[in-house]
Amino acid sequence: MVNTVRRRYLEAEVLGASPVKLVEILYRAALEAVGDARRHLANGDIRARSRSITKASAIVNELMQSLDHARGGVISRGLVELYAYIQTRLIDANTRQIDPPLAEVEQLLGVLQEAWRAVPSAPETPASGVEPEYVPVNCAY
């Protein structure tokens, strides 16, 4: 029941969100997955830890794939490098079963999330007046 309510809330939040808000939602989900991975690691639950790290990695991959390199310029390229580093740290945490890489990823994602919160959420309309194509976001990892 709780998962159903939570899923419906998330679905409504995603469907009504601006592109900036969607990125915030992805950061929140990635941070939640990393936090879960850290708890599972501390409890010795290898399978759950691995699932949580895989979920965080999939979300970071989605963030990386959604970058607009044509408009993002240097920032976009910098984010690609940072996301690749985060992926490497997640793999390290999973294979070596250690917490420090997870703590580092949690800190990095937290900083990125705060930066995105500072971005204005004004609706984005292209200068041409043409509405952007709708692309759904999959948050069920």
Measure CA of the first residue to CA of the last residue in the chain; give whole Å: 19
Compute the distance between CA of residue 14 and CA of residue 30 in angstroms, rounded to an integer. Answer: 15
Q: Does any domain span residue 6? A: no
Query: What's the pLDDT tens digit per position in 8-65?
Result: 655 555 556 687 888 999 999 999 999 999 999 999 999 999 999 999 999 999 999 9
* Whether 37 contacts 56, CB under 8 Å: yes
Residue type, 138: N
For tokens 């996301």, the residue is 83
Q: Does any domain span residue 130? A: no
Query: What's the pLDDT tens digit per position in 70-127?
Result: 998 999 999 999 999 999 999 999 999 999 999 999 999 999 999 988 887 655 545 4
30: CATH: 1.20.120.340
Q: Does any domain span residue 40? A: yes
Check residue 7 and give its pLDDT. 61
Q: Does any domain span residue 32? A: yes
1 — pLDDT class (breaks 50, 70, 90): low
Residue 20, classified by CB atoms within 10 Å of its CB into exposed (0-12), middle (13-18) or buried (19+), is: middle
Residue type, 9: Y
Q: Does any domain span residue 7? A: no
- Name the pTM for this structure: 0.77
Q: What angle do CA 64, 67, 71 make, to 5 degrees?
A: 155
Structural domain tally of the chain?
1
CB atoms within 10 A of CB 80: 16
Q: Does any domain span residue 111? A: yes
Q: Does any domain span residue 96? A: yes
What is the extent of the structural domain holding 90?
19-117
Check residue 132 and give its pLDDT. 53
Nearest C-alpha neighbor of 92 from the set 84, 102, 83, 82: 102
Check residue 119 and give its pLDDT. 80
CB atoms within 10 A of CB 31: 18
Query: What's the pLDDT tens digit per position in 113-139?
Result: 999 888 876 555 454 455 555 555 555
Check residue 120 and give its pLDDT. 75
Q: Does any domain span residue 12? A: no
